[in-house]
Amino acid sequence: MAERSFASEVEKLRLGAGERFHGEGILAVTKALLQAGVAYVGGYQGSPISHLMDVFADANSLLEELGVHFESSASEASAAAMLAASVNYPLRGAVAWKSVVGTNVASDALSNVASGGVTGGTLVIVGEDYGEGSSIMQERTHAFAMKSQMWLLDPRPSHRLIVDLVERAFELSEASNTPVLFELRVRGCHQTGSFIARDNKRPPMTVGEAAANPRRDLDRIVLPPANFLHETEKVEKRWPAAIDFIRRHALNERFGANRSDVGIIVQGGLFNSLNRALELVGLSDAFGNASLPLYVLNVTYPLIPDEVERFCAGKKAVLLLEEGQPEFIEHELNTIVRRADLQTRIVGKELLPRAGEYVAAVILDGVSAFLRKWAPDIAPTEESRDEPALAPALVPARPAGLCTGCPERPVFSAMKLLQKEMGDFHVSADIGCHLFSILPPFHIGNTTMGYGLGTAGASAFKPGDRRAIAIMGDGGFWHNGLTSGIGNAVFNGDDNLTVIIDNGYSAATGGQDLLSSRADNRIRRTKHPIERAVRGIGVSSVSTITRTYDVAGMRDALRRALTSKEKGPKVLIAQSECQLNRQRRVKPATARAIREGRRVVRERFGVDPDTCTGDHSCIRLSGCPSLTIRPNPDPLRDDPIAHVDNSCVGCGVCGEVSHAAVLCPSFYKADITINPTAADRMKARIRRFVIGLWQRRSARALAARAF
């Protein structure tokens, strides 16, 4: 993390017993890991768990004091494989990533570690990116828990509970020799709250001590005959051990009154929304004192059959709030109820939507419908919903876009310009900020197959005369793209172009450092150029553009790569620093320089309102947030004119685009010299004098011929 500091968060990790922690849910989990004596932590950054990775990366001295090993893993697969440390040794380990995508990447190692089983407690903290604000496919991590047999915790959003559950989850993992998935939803990660801290605990055994005393157990390795043994062990030993632990420690909770005819079973993570919905219809209060029984599944896999049976016994119907599909819990509940020969009706997706986030209104509707059918005495009366005051079309959507001054913008501007010349391209997009190219105003990109998979996504195209373009970010490149994309293209003799966006950071996930970052990093090794790696793996046609803002140069480089006679994969590295992170560094430095009276030249762009005719071609080729519109000051014109607002960072793309596209002469660049030197001032004075003479004369002439 070159440009951001998490010092204040690190301080929170140092809180001792009895002190109150205030902060976000994901940071509470971070602290809980240290309190549980974790020996090693790894993971891959991504919303909503980036914070855990970032804070640990800044907490190096604390972790060293405690003897905790922390790694910024190369990928989720690397992180999951790291859990191997807990197979033979009583080391508590935790890894974290964005799910479901990260779990996909990690699943090979996860299957292995889940098969052989663990000795030390292992926790996989998954940030479930589902619902509002999500940027990934809408799937459930639940399926992974089931197929690999890992326990899945979905805690009720309460810091106190979550912190306790982290400790319990390690114990559960140890008691059942099974890795535990600790699922946190986006809102839960960002939820603020507090709990009373405990002292951090040094791991009883450190990774160093384990490595110094190797142990080996052939039965833990996934190879015949042990692999068959593992499956039996899962069913006969680990499963019952987990059921027993969960029951004994009451990991699932009961709320509400004992009503005999109906009840609600809810995933822990949805509990607060359910309670609010009940409160709104007068069936609960701010402390969860519902007027009907609630069974809260803080453990959503496995279910505890006798707890379920006890809850359902005698009830006519039980509503299940289970977000996402397929409805695994509903299937399992029905099986349990059937096997126990209970006559309780499990009501789930028949009244609740099969797909989509269970937001407050959805839960409210589902609960109301359930009660009207099964408990009319307490059901809320049906109220007609007010007509919305506005039609949706009146409020324009705001698709995500590249930041002001983003160095990736000119790459896509150049591609758009080239498309005008050469016709449309097939573009295989990748994961990262650059994926916003598929949205307006660029509309570039046909598919996206996963992180680092841009090049692989184009590999079926063996072009005759028209090359496909693949995009890859530096994050995806190091995650796996070097081998799965570039290496694959070399080996299979592809003839496509890969554009690698090398902005110096894993930008989309928060600006973490990478192998190829240009920044110094105290605890990581950076400055490994992508070009060397690409050449090393066998690509000969590589070029690097070190200033992407040169739109015409970018366009020409793309054209060259697309039309060159040479066969084989082509790589174009578009290298300019992520502006968001650059500004984090440059802004305070500039402000300091100005304060200290040093000469500073600030650049920004503008549009002359009297030459702009309001066609907005410039906006369609750029989409920069600082390039916007404003009412046309010209009384005869109606269309709004382009306008550069004060958030402009002076990257110059708008001017370069208008140059390259031969758009219009309205853009200007203003160089503002603050704290000018005597020579600057002298030159400026001469110019001002001469130009001023001419300008005043011509202003008089203009006034004379005015209306």
Partner 1 sequence: MVSRDPRRERITIAILALGGQGGGVLADWIVALAQQEGFVVQATSVPGVAQRTGSTVYYVELLPADAAESREPVLALMPAPGDVDIVIASELMEAGRAILRGFATDRTVLIGSTHRVYSISEKSALGDGRASSERILEAAKTRCARFIGFDMEEIASRAGSVISSVMFGALAASGALPFPRNAFEKAIRSGGKGVEASLAAFAAGFEAADAAPQAARTERTALEPTTPAGAALADRIARQLPAPAQGVAREGARRLMEYQDRRYAELYLDRLDSVLAVDSASGAWRLTTAAAKYLALWMSYEDVIRVADLKVRESRFERVREEVRAPHGAILELTEYMHPRPQEICEMLPASLGRRLRGSRRAQRLLGRLFSKGRHVRTTSLSWFFVLAFLASLRSIRPRTLRYVVEQQRIDEWLALARSAAAAGRYEAALELVECQRLIKGYGDTHERGLASYRTIVEHWPALQARVDAAASLRRLREAALADEDGRELSEALRLIAA
What is the DSSP pairing of strand 541-545 with strand 262-267?
unpaired
| Of 190 and 518, CB closest to partner 1 | 190
For the record, the structure tokens of 269 come out as: 């993570």
- Interactions with partner 1, residue window 47-76 (CB under 8 A): 47-48
DSSP-derived secondary structure letter, 435: G
Helix (H) or strand (E) holding 152: strand 151-153
Would you say 535 or 559 has its CB closer to partner 1? Answer: 559
Beta bridge partners of 94: 41, 123
Helices (H), 159-304: 159-176, 186-190, 207-212, 226-233, 239-248, 271-280
Pairing between β-strand 667-674 and β-strand 600-607 as defined by DSSP bridges: antiparallel
507 neighbors 544 (Cβ within 8 angstroms) = no
Least Å distance, CB 250 to partner 1, is 17
Where does this chain touch partner 1 (CB under 8 A) — which range of 36-44, 66-74, 493-501, 694-702?
A: 694-702
For residue 365, how many other CB atoms are within 10 A of its CB? 15
Identify whether the C-beta of residue 367 lies closer than 8 Å to the C-beta of residue 275: no
Helices 271-280, 360-374: axis angle to 10 degrees equals 60
Contact 68, 41 (CB under 8 A): yes
Among 67, 90, 193, 305, binds partner 1 (CB under 8 A): 193
Counting contacts by CB under 8 A, is residue 489 touching partner 1? no
Q: Does 593 bind partner 1 (CB under 8 A)?
A: no
| Binding-site string for partner 1 from residue 560 to residue 589, where x marks contact by CB under 8 A and - marks none | ------------------------------
Tell me: cis bond preceding 157? Omega within 30 of 0 counts. Answer: no
Site for partner 1 in 92-121 (CB under 8 A): none
What track of x and - describes contact with partner 1 for positions 119 through 148 (by CB under 8 A)?
----------x-xxxxx-------------
For position 450 contacting partner 1 by CB under 8 A, the verdict is no
Q: Cβ-count burial of 193 within 10 angstroms (0-12 exposed, 13-18 middle, 19+ buried)?
A: middle
Of 211 and 690, CB closest to partner 1: 690
Inter-helix orientation angle 50-58/25-35, to 10°: 50
How many Cβ atoms sit within 10 Å of the Cβ of residue 610?
Answer: 10
Q: In whole angstroms, what is the distance from residue 622 CA to residue 630 CA?
A: 17
C-alpha to C-alpha distance for 182 and 297, rounded to whole angstroms: 13
Pick one of 43, 102, 293, 401: the residue that binds partner 1 (CB under 8 A). 401
Within 363-392, the residues that bind partner 1 by CB under 8 A are 364, 383, 385-386, 388-390, 392
Q: Does 227 bind partner 1 (CB under 8 A)?
A: no
Instruction: Identify residues 657-686 at the interface with partner 1 (CB under 8 A).
Output: 658-665, 667-676, 680-681, 684
Q: Which of 218, 395, 460, 678 binds partner 1 (CB under 8 A)?
A: 395
d(CA 46, CA 106): 14
Taking CB under 8 A as the rule, does residue 446 contact partner 1?
Answer: no
Instruction: Tell me the number of residues near partner 1 by CB under 8 A.
Output: 123
Instruction: Give the residue with the Cβ less far from partner 1, 83 or 661.
Output: 661
Contact 256, 288 (CB under 8 A): yes
Q: Can residue 254 be called a binding residue for partner 1 (CB under 8 A)?
A: no
Give the nearer residue to partner 1 in terms of CB position, either 445 or 623: 623
Positions in 309-338 near partner 1 (CB under 8 A): none
User: Is 698 a residue that touches partner 1 (CB under 8 A)?
Assistant: yes
Window of 320-328, 449-457, 484-492, 613-621 that interacts with partner 1 by CB under 8 A: 613-621
Specify the residue, 18 or 635, whose C-beta has the smaller distance to partner 1.
635
Q: How far is the CB of 675 from partner 1 (least distance, A)?
A: 8
Task: Work out how close the CB of 272 gets to partner 1 at its nearest, in angstroms, rounded to a whole number.
Answer: 5
Q: Judged by CB under 8 A, does residue 553 bind partner 1?
A: no
